[in-house]
């Protein structure tokens, strides 16, 4: 090897090492809606994630400040802020994971579906840009109503010839986070050891926690399971009401979003057996999209896992959620194809 080339290579290696550990691949994560209630704490949590090498913070306004603030934290990733549509391309280029908490949140008395008219358009615009500038990225959709925004994104990507069902995820992790917390309280279990799958969708009765599969097992009486199910389904509304007009869950959502993005990054990096619940294209029920446990891998979804055994109560819940979830999915598809 010629000395000059060898020196150049070692300089490059040293530069790389000072910036990232050689065994951890470079990964760019973009947060769209990064100046918002979820976006800011999510930006903070992603800055703390050592799997991220480049953190791209995009919003229609306010991101230079958030980016400057977060960039001073002495962790691996390089942070850049992008504001306004003219900077969206740069924000997205080369992204491995795009997290979307852009849009308006609920106020008391609103359902997630009430957000449809505004957020559907925002998601459509952002997904169109993803199809153009980073079509291979894993999309983590947080914007509500997730039951409709994921089908909208799928249709937009299909129209652009860029749809890969393995790369599109509705983030339902907050439902799992809540189910774990509420179950641990009733089961008197260490919350860090609790697991509860949550399937279906991400709104009201479409959220179906499977407490019959919760671990560690606790044999809770039926009325407690019923109450836990209702509290998990209404968890978002509990926060909306407590915030009394100042929005919906932001901090717990940022935590949940960071957990899910971390799982996606681990999957991309080849870590085995990464399993999270997510709302994805699915054939485990009659519906084209459904949340269930998903194994994540180098290309996104590696396997959509089945529902497992359901109790009679969960079976009833499954039957009742199907019509509502079906209509939310169809509403999204219709919107994407109409406008
Ligand atoms: P927020 O209003 O505090 O922040 C939203 C941000 O999106 C704002 O900074 C706004 O400027 C930005 N934004 C609007 N249009 C945009 C565009 N075209 N491109 C980029 N950014 C844009 O709202 P918050 O509380 O952060 O909630 C965001 C979304 O997340 C809402 O749709 C909410 O319903 C949803 N959400 C989802 C949850 C889930 O479990 N999946 C849980 C909680 C909220």
What CATH code is carried by the domain that includes residue 196?
Answer: 3.90.110.10
Q: Answer whether 59 contacts ligand 1 (Cβ < 6 A).
A: yes
Over residues 268-327, the pLDDT tens digits come to 999 999 999 999 999 999 999 999 999 999 999 999 999 999 999 999 999 999 999 999
Both 71 and 214 in a single domain?
no
Residue positions forming the annotated binding site for NAD(+): 33-39, 59, 119, 142-144, 253
Helix (H) or strand (E) run with residue 264 in it: helix 251-268
Both 167 and 239 in a single domain?
no
Q: What is the DSSP secondary structure assignment for residue 58, as one 8-state letter?
A: E
Both 163 and 189 in a single domain?
no
CA 306 – ligand 1 centroid, Å:
31
Q: What is the DSSP secondary structure assignment for residue 172, as one 8-state letter?
A: -
pLDDT for 339 equals: 62
Pairwise CA distance, residues 218 & 187, whole Å = 6
269 lies in some domain: yes
Both 236 and 326 in a single domain?
yes
Is residue 233 a contact partner of residue 211, using CB atoms and an 8 Å limit?
A: no
pLDDT for 165 equals: 98
116 lies in some domain: yes
**Residue at a domain's end among 112, 139, 171:** 171
Q: What is the DSSP secondary structure assignment for residue 215, as one 8-state letter?
A: B
Task: Kindly report the pTM of this predicted structure.
Answer: 0.94
Q: Which two tokens stand for residue 323?
A: 């019509």
* Set 12, 54, 72, 202: catalytic member: 202
Both 85 and 176 in a single domain?
no
Q: Answer whether 171 contacts ligand 1 (Cβ < 6 A).
A: yes
**Residue at a domain's end among 155, 171, 187:** 171
Closest C-alpha to ligand 1, atom 43: 249
Closest C-alpha to ligand 1, atom 16: 102
**Catalytic residue check, 54:** no
Q: Answer whether 227 contacts ligand 1 (Cβ < 6 A).
A: no
Q: Answer whether 33 contacts ligand 1 (Cβ < 6 A).
A: yes
Q: What is the DSSP secondary structure assignment for residue 203, as one 8-state letter?
A: S
Both 195 and 325 in a single domain?
yes
The total number of structural domains in the chain stands at 2
Residue positions forming the annotated binding site for substrate: 106, 112, 144, 178
Q: Answer whether 237 contacts ligand 1 (Cβ < 6 A).
A: no
Closest C-alpha to ligand 1, atom 2: 104
CA 36 – ligand 1 centroid, Å:
6
Q: Answer whether 119 contacts ligand 1 (Cβ < 6 A).
A: yes
Both 200 and 141 in a single domain?
no
**Residue at a domain's end among 115, 146, 171:** 171
pLDDT for 173 equals: 99
Closest C-alpha to ligand 1, atom 8: 36
339 lies in some domain: no
20 lies in some domain: no
- Spans in the chain with pLDDT lower than 50: 1-20
CA 114 – ligand 1 centroid, Å:
14
Both 181 and 126 in a single domain?
no
Q: Which two tokens stand for residue 126?
A: 């952002």
Both 136 and 191 in a single domain?
no
CA 228 – ligand 1 centroid, Å:
27
- What residues make up the domain containing 132? 28-171
The enclosing domain of 80 has a CATH number of 3.40.50.720
Q: Please report which residue ranges of 30-145 form alpha helices under DSSP H.
A: 39-47, 63-71, 88-92, 116-133
Pairwise CA distance, residues 60 & 324, whole Å = 32
Both 66 and 110 in a single domain?
yes
Q: Answer whether 247 contacts ligand 1 (Cβ < 6 A).
A: yes
pLDDT for 12 equals: 39
Both 104 and 190 in a single domain?
no
Over residues 161-179, the pLDDT tens digits come to 999 999 999 999 999 999 9
Both 324 and 182 in a single domain?
yes
């Amino acid at each position: 090897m010629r000395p000059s080339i060898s020196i150049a290579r070692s300089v490059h290696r040293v530069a790389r090492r000072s910036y990232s550990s050689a065994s951890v691949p470079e990964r760019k994560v973009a947060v769209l809606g990064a100046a918002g209630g979820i976006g800011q704490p999510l930006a903070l949590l992603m800055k703390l994630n050592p799997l991220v090498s480049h953190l791209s913070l995009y919003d229609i306004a306010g991101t230079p400040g958030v980016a400057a603030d977060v960039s001073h934290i002495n962790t691996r990733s390089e942070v850049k802020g992008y504001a306004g549509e003219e900077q969206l391309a740069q924000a997205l280029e080369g992204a491995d994971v795009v997290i979307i908490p852009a849009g308006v949140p609920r106020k008391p008395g609103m359902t997630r579906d009430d957000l449809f008219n505004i957020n559907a358009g925002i998601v459509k615009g952002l997904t169109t840009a993803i199809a153009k500038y980073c079509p291979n990225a894993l999309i983590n959709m947080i914007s509500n109503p997730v039951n409709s925004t994921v089908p909208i994104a799928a249709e937009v990507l299909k129209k652009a010839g860029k749809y890969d069902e393995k790369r599109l995820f509705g983030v339902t992790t907050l439902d799992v986070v809540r189910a774990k917390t509420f179950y641990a309280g009733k089961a008197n279990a260490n919350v860090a050891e609790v697991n509860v799958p949550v399937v279906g969708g991400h709104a009201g009765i479409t959220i179906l926690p499977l407490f019959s599969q919760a671990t560690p097992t606790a044999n809770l009486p039926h009325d407690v399971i019923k109450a836990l199910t209702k509290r998990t389904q209404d968890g978002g509304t509990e926060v909306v009401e407590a915030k009394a007009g100042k929005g919906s869950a932001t901090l717990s959502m940022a935590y949940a979003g960071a957990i899910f993005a971390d799982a996606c990054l681990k999957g991309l990096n080849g870590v085995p057996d990464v399993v999270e619940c997510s709302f994805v294209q699915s054939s485990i029920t009659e519906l084209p999209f459904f949340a269930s446990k998903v194994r994540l891998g180098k290309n996104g979804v590696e396997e959509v896992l089945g529902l497992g055994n359901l109790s009679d109560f969960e079976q009833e819940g499954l039957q009742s959620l199907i019509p509502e979830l079906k209509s939310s999915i169809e509403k999204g598809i219709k919107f994407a194809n109409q406008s």
